[in-house]
Structure 1
Amino acid sequence: MSRCVTGRAIDKSRFSNMLLTFQDRLRIPWRGGAKQVTFGAIFPIFILPLLISLAAINAYTFTVIFVASAVILCYTFSYVRQRSLRTRFFNMWIISSVVYILLLFEVTVPLLEVLPEENYTLAAFTLISLICFYQAYKRASFNHVKITDTEDGITDITEASNTNENAEQTLILLDQELETGQQSGKQPSICSICRKHIQPYSAHCKVCNACVKRYDHHSYWLNGCIGESNHRFYLTGLIFGILALLLGADLTLTAVCHPFLAANILGVQILLPDDCSEVFDMYELSLAFVIAAYALIMAVYMITILLRQIYFVSRGITLYECNKGLRGNNKTPSNWGSFIS
């Protein structure tokens, strides 16, 4: 308004402050007090149904929206990861995706002759996956290193004495221990960033700004670190999530497309889609086809992550250690035994 009246451009700092003020005022009612929400957290909730609805119009919009969304998501993910930014955008994106896929599946697909047993199996896979991912998210904070004292009695720098002299002496001792560990080629027992005494195989997560026990990586999709306390839940969630997505996509595609019998295992008929050229003739069918394609894309992405995780566990290393140049060992049974126990 002021630009239209005065003809002067608005200062960028003022515009930025206006956005920050609006975001600070953006809160939702919650037990114990209103919760502040960010643009990144609410954006997927509104944009996903719009994209799915537009993609179901015809084959052209389906191709354009899926390709454009994939490119934008990959660029955004790479941008956030390179700068170690903390955001709930990807976490809310995956939650919104699961909600919309399940909602559209239950509304459209069972009407197309899906057996109750198939629906129950899909619900079981989905429930197990969601429980495992929730436990992985809930236990992420358990991975944070909270050690304040070491075996030799040196106190963590964050718990140093109130006197400047003792604090300086503690800092000197920590620096010496850190330098000794780096020169020996072994992992130092001191974090170079937060100056905490850490256990072996621990590392500092720049996103969470905390040292994580048995650090594997920071999962933006779960908005937490994967480490010692939640790695098994994360892996189990991936397995059942992939099963749920593949089963849901197959049930949907064989319902809206022309199916064929792929196999008959112990009396259970395995159907696969054959011809889907007519799905865009009806909007209800195209909508089901779009969510099935979206589920398949998510499944392929999760399969890639799962295979990578299986390889690292088999080699006895983490993703973080692999990025540091470690290659692990060939003791696969022993490595899996240590991982499961």
Structure 2
Amino acid sequence: MKKRANRELGPDEPLCCCEYVDRLGNRSHVAACCCDCEDLDEACDRWLKKEPQKTDSLSRLVAVVADRLRVPWFWGGAWRIDLSVLPPLLLLPVFLHIAALHFLLGIVVLTTLPVLVLWYYYVTHRKKGRTLFFLSLALFSLGYMYYLFVTEVFLRGDVGLTQLCTVTIGLALTLASLVRTKREPGYVWLHSASPHSTVTYHNPRPDRDPAHTGHDGAIMANRGSASEKLGQGVEQRETGWSWCSVCMVDRPPRAGHCRICGICVLRLDHHCVWINNCVGQANHCSFLLTLILFLLTSLHGISLVLSSVCPDQNRLTALFYCPGVYNRFSSALCFTCAWYCSTVTVGVLHLLAMQLCNVSYNVTEREARLALKEKTGRSTCCGLVVDTGIYLRGFWANWAEFLTRELPARSPKLTDVV
């Protein structure tokens, strides 16, 4: 049978809600998801003939499936669904329901689940690729835990309307802060007029010439254009500015290039996979606020759930000893979710402690990793922070600089240039 060729998109012909432009630039329809699939036909033909598959056959098949997996949308055509979004939505409820069947299954599942997430994190971190898996897991966990809290705890009358409103407000504030965090970390744009960090050097590096420092000990940064600096032969060690050969921009002090996002960020701290975004100068404060709001909401929700399923036990000891909780499946499911939230809360608490220590020592996560690699810093606070000694001004001065520094001007979204 002759295969039907996809129509090319006309310049003035809009897409309907079920149409889209595929990865080859052709106009296609969601109903034709199983049509004209040469890669799948070739793979099945080789499998039936017991012939070895080509080296790139699996990757091409995954690319085709990912391109055709779409949902109809009202404007702009059908939206593409990222494959990394689906596993949390499908596997998390299944794992939690299995863990609620018996306490031994709960131990196995709640031990295996963090191990699998950490394994996937190291795999994606080594490949330096963007993924929506962790953001999808975080958002779906929040939504699913709130759904169980309303249906299994509130509707049974174990908590009042005031407690429900408190949890709801905490969840809403957490999501609002997360949206603010994801807006922009503070990109170094090519068209910007010499963007610079508001944080100055207060202690010069040992290999710097004291003649290049100001009267107050701060290293004066040359704010000339990139072409002027290249023409004058200005080096990174003398000014603190650096040239990014990937973004083709002149980076101010403490800015760094994110290999995952593929763009330079002002005062880059790290790339957080849980928000699928960088943490930099413009969103670092809102990132800390998101962690704090999540911790307060999670601790309050866990306390309410434990008081519901284990009313005769102390809330601190109920998490480890709650007799009879597995006699009813709904109580066991709530208890399992409380354990799951506790595991996530411990991880977020560790992240928040590291961030607070870094801010107190005026060091970013990126600078700490570089200092450990180059052996120019020392570990303090039981290994939570690496003191580089370059920007340290004192506890209160460091926090005042962190909270009052000037934010960069609003620039175009990353999706507009990538």
Tell me if both proteins adopt one fold, taking TM over 0.5 as the criterion: yes
Corresponding position of 2:366: 320
Of 121, 146, 154 in structure 2, the residue corresponding to residue 77 of structure 1 is 121
Aligned length: 311
CA contact (8 A) 1:238 1:302 kept: yes
Corresponding position of 1:122: 167
CA contact (8 A) 1:133 1:234 kept: yes
Structure 2 residue 314 is the aligned partner of structure 1 residue 278: no
CA contact (8 A) 2:240 2:252 kept: no
**Secondary structure in 2 matching 1:287:** helix
Deviation at 1:193, TM superposition (A): 3.7
The runs of 5 or more residues in structure 2 that have no matched partner are 1-43, 195-222, 372-387, 405-418
The one-letter code of the counterpart of 1:64 is V
In structure 2, C-alpha distance between the alignment counterparts of 1:44 and 1:173, rounded to whole Å: 52
Answer with 114-123 or 307-316: which moved more. 114-123
CA contact (8 A) 2:101 2:326 kept: yes
Of 86, 90, 102 in structure 2, the residue corresponding to residue 58 of structure 1 is 102
Corresponding position of 1:25: 68
Deviation at 1:231, TM superposition (A): 0.8
In structure 2, C-alpha distance between the alignment counterparts of 1:322 and 1:4, rounded to whole Å: 50
Identity of aligned residues (%): 25
Distance 1:278 1:42, change over 3 A: same
TM, length-normalised to structure 2: 0.70
In structure 2, C-alpha distance between the alignment counterparts of 1:311 and 1:196, rounded to whole Å: 31
Corresponding position of 1:293: 339
Corresponding position of 1:243: 296
In structure 1, C-alpha distance between the alignment counterparts of 2:91 and 2:346, rounded to whole Å: 22
CA contact (8 A) 2:362 2:398 kept: yes
Answer with 5-14 or 207-216: which moved more. 5-14
The one-letter code of the counterpart of 2:135 is N
CA contact (8 A) 2:313 2:322 kept: no
CA contact (8 A) 1:254 1:273 kept: no
The one-letter code of the counterpart of 1:120 is C
The one-letter code of the counterpart of 1:334 is A
Q: 1:245-280: CA deviations, max 9, x gaps?
A: 11111110111014446xxxxxxxxx5454412111
Corresponding position of 2:236: 181
Structure 2 residue 351 is the aligned partner of structure 1 residue 311: no
Deviation at 1:55, TM superposition (A): 1.2
Question: Which structure features the higher share of helix residues?
Answer: 1
The runs of 5 or more residues in structure 1 that have no matched partner are 156-169, 262-270
CA contact (8 A) 1:254 1:272 kept: no
Distance 1:79 1:5, change over 3 A: closer
Deviation at 1:281, TM superposition (A): 1.2
**Secondary structure in 2 matching 1:197:** strand
TM, length-normalised to structure 1: 0.84
Distance 1:152 1:171, change over 3 A: closer
